[in-house]
Chains A and B, each alone.
Chain A
Amino acid sequence: MSASALALTDIHKTFGDTRALDGASCTIRRGSIHALLGENGAGKTTLMRIAFGMIAADQGQITRHGAPVHFRSERESIAAGIGMVHQHFMLIPAFTVAENIALGGRGRLDAVAAAETVRRIGAATGLAIDPQARIADLPVGAQQRTEIVRALAHDADVLILDEPTAVLTPTESDELYRWMRRFADGGGAVVLITHRVREALAVADDVTVLRRGRSVLQGVAKSLTEDAAVTAIVGDRLAPDVSAALMPTDGEVLFALEAAAVRDADGRQRLRPTQLLVRSGEILGVLGVEGSGQRELLRLLAGRLAPSEGRVQRPDVVGFVPEDRLHDAVIPAFSLTENTTLAEAGALRGRVDWSRETVRAQTIVSDHDVRASGVQATMRSLSGGNQQRFVVGRERQRSPRALVAENPTRGLDVRATARVLETIRAVALAGGAAVVYSTDLDEILSLTRRVVVCFDGFVREVSAPADAEDRTPYARALVGADA
């Protein structure tokens, strides 16, 4: 029998015109913990979904114990002994643990047998859960154990965990890591998808780093330094053009957070008490991987979210460019004119003067180079880049002094990206302030030298390095290397 439990070789996958995987390879040895590292959008999850049979690769080979396999569905990969615990759990909250585990089987839903299985696996592995507990009543850590137990109930010997520690407390994480080690020692293999470099190097045997859909590093964790891993993750891309980046100013304070914090509906602290000032003439760059608190930070500043503690001071009207524009910024079925009016909808009174609104929409379209058949065209009929230029233009028109933008260039082509960044720069240059979150470090560095990084709900200001083109301090903070 081959030593590789699962091997993916030269995998390619394209979604629409996005190249998600471009020659990614990964070999998972039996009895090992394998960390899969990379930035947001590097292709980690996509690669593992292909391994799990959820999506088909365009090209490439998968072998199991040395023999080629083709999984056409999750059912087939589960039958072949692969289990995957997704970042968002695939459990039915109203069902009990046993019922959720029985669900995977064919024929009759046998919750009694499943309960027995849960107890047996609990006794054998230490992953104890009450089979009769309802998922909705369980803490997140126990839900995750349920997912793992479900995979083990199907005799998985390869277990893929997608960002498993993102939802766990440090103690729970340690417990999970100890369990992973026991599982590997027993002959299983674990794939740990993560962006936490330090943790990954501490617990994993092997490491694969993906960058822009390619595997750029495959090696043994022990022989890797944190710096080497971080460099592989962020890459040695061409240095960003930092010549136009704005400097911090000591102008009038436009935004101020005073110990402002945000808790979600479940009481989890999404953003820890934060002090922050943004002054006139500044662009504040915000970095952070998914779920680090940047979403809450931006919404506090934009006035779309009230702090659960502390105070927020901000201008009366703040332009806001949310990441999910088709849900949060515009109404696809409405015309450009109606979408212009939408921004004032809450404050409007009496009759709507459509001829005036039409003129306002035309101004946005011409000032911001929006390509549309006319202002009566539906938002849906525009390309993504044009939609985004419209949104940015509209928000700039209503609030010339304060703009908060969340991943504003995501999915845009070069021309649209340049246009959007230009508008953001113009706000600050005209004496206003802009706050921009982006997953693209280079983009942030080309805009500003004032950068904060969100990690685990903490907002940390990263002081600009002497060499303006040096990205290491940001990259390290981003993946929690200094946390």
Chain B
Amino acid sequence: MTEVLLAFWDGAFGSVYAVLSATLVRATPLLFVGLAVALAFRAGVLNIGAEGQLIVGAIGASAVALAIPAWPRPVVIVLMLVAGAVAGGLWAGIAAVLRRRFHVLEVISTLMLNFVAAALIGWVVRGPLQEPTRVYPMSESFSAAARWPFLVPGQRLHLGFVLGLVTAAVLWYVLQHTAAGFRVRAVGAGARAAASAGAVPVARVASRAFLASGMLAGLAGASEVGGVTWALYEGISPGYGYTAIAVALLARLDPRWVIVTAIGFGALEAGGAAMQRSAGVPAVAVQIVTAAVLLSVLALSRWRARDRDEASA
């Protein structure tokens, strides 16, 4: 048992390498998708399609990286980010339009679009973006210009992590200190009051938050292909978009806490992988622990909310 926990600890925090090349690298996409889910949920939009939006964002960023391999590196990186965000936003946009025009529940449409995105990337890596030999279901490796810089020499932590931290700070500021962010929070916390007392265009605000959420998830995809894989693979995400829901909920939808929970889940993934390698414990064990923790925390917070409501009633 001790051996297992030691292996877990070593894999997650045990060394500089574990932190900078495993935990934080895995935390990076979780940070972006966690923020994406937090933003949507704050607006009362149950976007559980971060997974699909991440995948489509990865496709968009890869298409740019492969199209302009010889352009200056900063330009390529910026365009990859733009492409990732736009692609993720468009993917969320499908569900946003269905929600606003036809009242299709976004829980269903975004979940369905995750499967469509999985099928789409399967086709892309065997079709338009397949490597030239046409043997492997993956794209050509990116040129040096499209490979994002590492933050620490010899470690795998890349530019995406810093961008994620900046994004969290910006999102927190927008939600807490701008009129647009206040409207998002008001729509999520009390749509009827926002419309009746504040003349807030509820449907428009929710739709825009939905699009922005998709864009954030798309950034996760861009960051993965630019910072980690340097090529587009079918299995680009091991379910980051689903873990994101836990990341966001545990952070109580606060962007500042998303940084903490994203790193926490990054550590769980890194430690779980190490545990499997050196102690032979299946990584599924980590998922079981994760799920148990999440359920307990959510039950506890519900319970507290109920106590509070009863106390005030």
Which of A's residues lie within 8 Å of B, judged by CB? Answer: 304, 320, 322, 327-334, 338, 341-352, 354, 380-381
> Do A345 and B308 touch across chains, with their CB atoms under 8 A apart?
no
Measured between alpha carbons, how far is A341 from B200 in the docked complex, in Å? 12
Assess whether A330 is in contact with B182, with CB atoms less than 8 Å apart. no
Q: Is B103 an interface residue (CB 8 A)?
A: no
List 7 other contacts, CB 8 Å, given A322-B196, A342-B194, A350-B178.
A328-B196, A332-B190, A334-B189, A338-B186, A345-B186, A352-B182, A354-B177
Q: Which residues does chain A contribute within 8 Å of B74, judged by CB atoms?
A: none
Q: When A and B form their complex, which 8 residue pairs have the shortest distance between CB atoms, in order from nearest?
A: A345-B198, A348-B179, A346-B199, A331-B190, A328-B196, A346-B200, A342-B198, A327-B192
Q: Mark B35-60, 1 if CB is under 8 A from A, else 0.
A: 00000000000000000000000000
CB distance from A44 to the nearest CB of B (A): 25
8 Å CB contact of A381 from B183, B190, B312:
B312
Asked if A352 meets B178 with Cβ closer than 8 Å, knowing A328-B192, A330-B193, A333-B189, the reply is yes
Min distance, Cβ A367 to any Cβ of chain B, angstroms: 19
Q: Say whether A342 contacts B312, CB under 8 Å.
A: no
C-alpha spacing A334/B185, complex, angstroms: 9
Which residues of A are found within 8 Å of B198, using beta-carbon distances?
Answer: 342-346
User: In angstroms, how far is the closest chain A Cβ from the Cβ of B170?
Assistant: 13
A341 to B186 Cα, complex, angstroms: 10
**Which of B183, B186, B198, B308 has the most A CB atoms < 10 Å from its CB?**
B198
- Given A329-B197, A346-B200, A351-B177, the answer on whether A341 and B190 have CB atoms closer than 8 Å is no
Measured between beta carbons, the chain B residues less than 8 angstroms from A345 are 179, 182-183, 186, 194, 197-200
Q: Complex formed: what's the CA distance from A218 to B260 in Å?
A: 69
Question: Is B280 among interface residues, defined by CB-CB distance under 8 A?
Answer: no
- Pairwise interchain contact A352-B197, C-beta atoms closer than 8 A: no
How many angstroms between the C-alpha atoms of A343 and B185 in the bound complex? 14
Which of B183, B190, B194, B308 has the most chain A CB atoms inside 10 A of its CB? Answer: B190
Instruction: Collect the chain B residues with CB atoms within 8 Å of residue A347's CB.
Output: 199
Contact of A342 among B193, B201, B308 (CB under 8 A): B193
A329 CB to nearest B CB, Å: 5
On whether A320 and B194 interact (CB within 8 A), knowing A341-B182, A345-B182, A349-B179, the answer reads no
| Contacting residues, chain A, for B183 (C-beta < 8 A) | 345-346, 348
A341 to B180, CA, bound (A): 12
Cα separation A327 to B193 with both chains bound (whole Å): 6
Q: Check if A343 sits within 8 Å of B197, measured CB to CB.
A: yes
* Chain B hits for A354, CB < 8 A: 177
- Chain A residues near B196: list those with CB within 8 A: 304, 320, 322, 328-329
Residues of A within 8 A of B189 (CB): 331, 333-334
| Given known A329-B196, A342-B197, contact A352–B186 (CB-CB < 8 A) | no
Docked complex Cα distance between A350 and B194 (Å): 18
Report chain A residues within 8 Å CB of B178: 350-352
Q: List 25 A-B contacts (CB under 8 A).
A: A327-B190, A327-B192, A329-B196, A329-B197, A330-B193, A331-B189, A332-B190, A338-B182, A342-B197, A342-B198, A345-B182, A345-B194, A345-B197, A345-B198, A345-B200, A346-B183, A346-B198, A349-B179, A350-B178, A350-B179, A351-B178, A351-B179, A352-B178, A352-B182, A381-B312
Chain B positions within 8 Å of A341 at CB level = 182
CB contacts (< 8 Å) of A327 on chain B: these are: 190, 192-193
A297 to chain B, nearest CB (A): 16
CB neighbors of A among B161-190 (8 A): 177-179, 182-183, 185-186, 189-190
Q: When the two chains form their complex, are residues A380 and B308 in contact, meaning their CB atoms are under 8 A apart?
A: yes
Q: Which residue of B lies closest to A347 (CB)?
A: B199
Most B-side CB within 10 Å, residue of A322, A342, A348, A380: A342
Q: A328, A331, A332, A381: which contacts B186 (Cβ < 8 A)? A: A331
- A contact residues around B177 at 8 Å (CB): 351-352, 354
In angstroms, Cα B186 to Cα A332, docked, is 11
Residue of A nearest to B178 (CB): A351
Q: How far is the CA of A218 from the CA of B186 in the complex (A)?
A: 51
Complex CA–CA separation, A346 to B177 (angstroms)? 15
Residues of B193-212 contacting chain A, CB below 8 A: 193-194, 196-201
Contact pick for A330, options B179, B190, B200, CB 8 Å: B190
User: How far is A350 from B182 in the complex, measured between Cα atoms in Å?
Assistant: 10
- Asked if residues B179 and A329 are in contact (CB atoms below 8 Å), the reply is no
Contact A334 B312 (CB under 8 A): no
In the complex, the chain A residue whose C-beta lies closest to that of B311 is A381
Question: What's the least CB distance linking A417 to chain B, in Å?
Answer: 21
Q: Which residues from chain B contact A351 at a C-beta distance below 8 Å?
A: 177-179
Minimum CB–CB distance from A11 to chain B (whole Å) comes to 25
- Quick one: which of B178, B194, B199 has the most chain A CB within 10 A? B199
Contacts of A348 in B (CB 8 A): 179, 182-183
Partner of B197, one of A320, A333, A349: A320
Minimum distance in angstroms from A402 CB to a CB of chain B: 15
A381→B313 CA distance, assembly (Å): 9
Rounded to whole angstroms, the CA-CA distance of A334 and B186 in the bound complex is 8
Chain A residues with CB below 8 A from B182, complex form: 338, 341, 345, 348, 352
> Smallest CB-CB separation from B308: which chain A residue?
A380
When distances are taken between beta carbons in the complex, the residues of chain A under 8 Å from B199 are 345-347
Neighbouring A residues of B312 by C-beta, 8 Å: 332, 380-381
Q: Least Cβ distance of A377 to chain B in Å? A: 11
Q: How far is the CA of A347 from the CA of B201 in the complex (A)?
A: 10
Q: CA separation between A331 and B312, bound complex, in Å?
A: 14
Q: In this complex, which of A333, A346, A380 has the most chain B Cβ atoms within 10 angstroms of its Cβ?
A: A346
State A352–B200 Cα separation when bound (angstroms): 15
Distance of B192 from chain A, by nearest CB (Å): 5
Asked if A328 and B193 sit within 8 Å, CB to CB, the answer is yes
A328 and B197 alpha carbons, distance in the complex (Å): 7
> How far, in whole Å, are A343 and B199 apart by their CA atoms in the complex?
8
Report chain A residues within 8 Å CB of B192.
327-328
In the bound complex, CA of A24 to CA of B68 (Å): 84
Q: Which residues of A contact B186 (CB under 8 A)?
A: 331, 334, 338, 342, 345
Min C-beta distance of B308 to chain A, whole Å: 7
Nearest-CB distance from B143 to chain A (Å)?
41
* Bound CA–CA A348/B185 (angstroms): 14
Task: Specify the chain B residue showing the minimal Cβ separation from A353.
Answer: B177
Closest B residue to A342 by CB, please name it. B198
With both beta carbons as reference points, the residue of chain B lying nearest to A324 in the complex is identified as: B192
A333 to B253 CA separation, bound complex (whole angstroms):
14
Q: How far is the CB of A384 from chain B (nearest CB, A)?
A: 10
A residues less than 8 Å from B194 (CB atoms): 331, 342, 345
A283, chain B: closest CB distance, angstroms = 22
Considering only CB atoms, which chain A residue lies closest to B201 in the complex? A346
The interface residues of chain B lying within 8 Å CB-to-CB of A333 are: 189-190
Whole-angstrom distance between the Cβ of A448 and the nearest chain B Cβ: 25
Closest Cβ of chain A: how far from B274's Cβ, in Å? 41
